[in-house]
Amino acid sequence: MKALPACKCYRDYSIVDCVFGTLDGVLQSNQVTVRLKATMLLGRMFALPDRQVANGYQQLFSEFLKRLNDEDADVQIAAVNCAKACLETMNSSAVETSEILGGLSNSSLQLE
């Protein structure tokens, strides 16, 4: 397994910023288990109540949504479950809500 790049966390950066900074590449990994774990981690983070994690990490959120159309069914299922959890905790007027619904719609169209 490929090692993650070194992360330098300074006082003005949180650990979350460092971790999230490496996850974009992890979501694009060739290894299914790596993508699956990253998808589930991000799904839990994005679904945190009263947090706007998706808003603060828009590019990472977009990459997470691409897992709804992942080539592996297990990753797709995990992404759908995470998207459901996000919808349950997000404000219905949030931009991310419409992005999730759009991603789910595109995912279901590809399954047909």
Which residues constitute the domain of residue 64?
A: 30-111
Is 64 part of any domain?
yes
Taking only the tens of pLDDT, the chain with its 112 residues reads 455 555 554 444 567 777 777 888 889 899 999 999 999 999 998 888 877 788 888 888 999 999 999 999 999 999 999 999 988 888 777 788 888 888 888 776 455 4
Whether 22 maps to a domain, the answer reads no
Specify the pLDDT at position 106: 78
- Whether 13 is in a domain gets the answer no
Give the pLDDT of residue 33. 95
Domain count, the chain: 1
In a domain, 70, yes or no: yes
C-alpha separations of 53 from 63, 86, 105 in Å: 14, 11, 22
Residue 10: per-residue pLDDT: 42
Residue 38: predicted pLDDT: 93
In-domain check, residue 87: yes
pLDDT of the residue at 92: 73
Question: Burial, 25: exposed, middle or buried (Cβ in 10 Å; 0-12, 13-18, 19+)?
Answer: middle
Residue 75, domain member (yes or no) = yes
Does a structural domain hold residue 19? no
Residue 3 within a domain:
no
